[in-house]
Amino acid sequence: MENGAARTAPPVIVAIDGPSGTGKSSTSKAVAAQLGLSYLDTGAQYRAITWWMVTNGIDIDDPTAIAAVAGKPEIVSGTDPAHPTITVDGVDVAGPIRTQEVTSKVSAVSAVPEVRATITELQRTLAAAAPAGIVVEGRDIGTTVLPDADLKIFLTASPEARAARRSGELKGADVHATREALIKRDAADSSRKTSPLAKADDAVEVDTTDLTLAQVIECVVTLVEEKRAAK
């Protein structure tokens, strides 16, 4: 759709949830860019707060210690899909939040209710401020953060396909080890008490195992356009 049309249409809110390696980020960014919408990677926010906890010596195994400082870091997300940014207290953390150390600790930090409350508020504020609407990707967007989203998508893929994609992103990391790590993180994210990874009842499930990225993007763009036309 052209930008002019996007500006005059009412804002559209799209929630894209699912486990790691299903193509959430690539799909969400591309859909937002094609439709002139903002884009928010909520996993990056949880990684950013985890990075801050690690950097400040907070004991990751102590939920009470994490809860006590959950409101301290100032996390700012830039929502341009062509150039998403993330800073913590003014520091660009786009690189540091992707390290193995942060990846292995993010499930523990993001399970703390005070962390989720702080980050959820940020997410709702950003979604409400997006002029044309926004694509928000995560684990609990359709169920908890934006339950009134215009469109909810739940992306899935087989563990093998997800591990192969993640290993490719990590430039040749061992597929077997990646698969085990993914399964462990998904289990933690799905079983936590506060807003676990879950498909909303009214979400459209898209199994991406045998689809190319271009096919997934096309599918989601079509669904958003249908919702927009009906608004």
Please, what's the b/e burial string for 14-25 (b: 16 or more CB within 10 A of its CB; e: otherwise)?
bbbbbbbbbbbb
Plot region of 143 (φ>0 → left; ψ -120 to 50 → alpha; else → beta): alpha
CB of 116 vs ligand DC, minimal distance in Å: 7
Determine which residue in the list 139, 152, 162, 179 makes contact with ligand DC, applying CB under 6 A: 139
Looking at the Cβ atoms of 6 and 97, the one nearer to ligand DC is 97
User: Do 127 and 77 touch, CB atoms closer than 8 A?
Assistant: no
Q: Which stretch binds ligand DC (CB under 6 A): 85-93, 106-114, 152-160, 171-179?
A: 106-114
Rounded CA-CA distance 95/87 in Å is 10
Looking at the Cβ atoms of 35 and 102, the one nearer to ligand DC is 102
How many residues form the binding site for ligand DC (CB under 6 A)?
Answer: 14
Site for ligand DC in 33-52 (CB under 6 A): 42-43, 46-47
Rounded CA-CA distance 55/94 in Å is 15
Determine which residue in the list 36, 52, 70, 140 makes contact with ligand DC, applying CB under 6 A: 140
Site for ligand DC in 108-137 (CB under 6 A): 110
Angle at 200 between CA 195 and CA 204, to 5 degrees: 145
Looking at the Cβ atoms of 40 and 224, the one nearer to ligand DC is 40
Rounded CA-CA distance 64/42 in Å is 23
User: What is the DSSP track for 6-19?
Assistant: HHHSPPEEEEEE--
Site for ligand DC in 154-193 (CB under 6 A): 185, 189
User: Do 147 and 200 touch, CB atoms closer than 8 A?
Assistant: yes
Looking at the Cβ atoms of 185 and 227, the one nearer to ligand DC is 185
Residue 80 Cα to chain centre, angstroms: 15
For 126, the token pair is 């950003």
> By rule CB under 6 A, what string of x and - marks binding of each residue 63-102 to ligand DC?
----------------------------------------
Looking at the Cβ atoms of 6 and 146, the one nearer to ligand DC is 146
Q: What share of the chain is helix, strand, coil (3-state, %, to 5)?
A: 50, 15, 30
Determine which residue in the list 11, 23, 81, 138 makes contact with ligand DC, applying CB under 6 A: 138
Looking at the Cβ atoms of 1 and 25, the one nearer to ligand DC is 25
Looking at the Cβ atoms of 73 and 138, the one nearer to ligand DC is 138
Task: By CB under 6 A, name the binding residues for ligand DC.
Answer: 20, 42-43, 46-47, 106-107, 110, 138-141, 185, 189
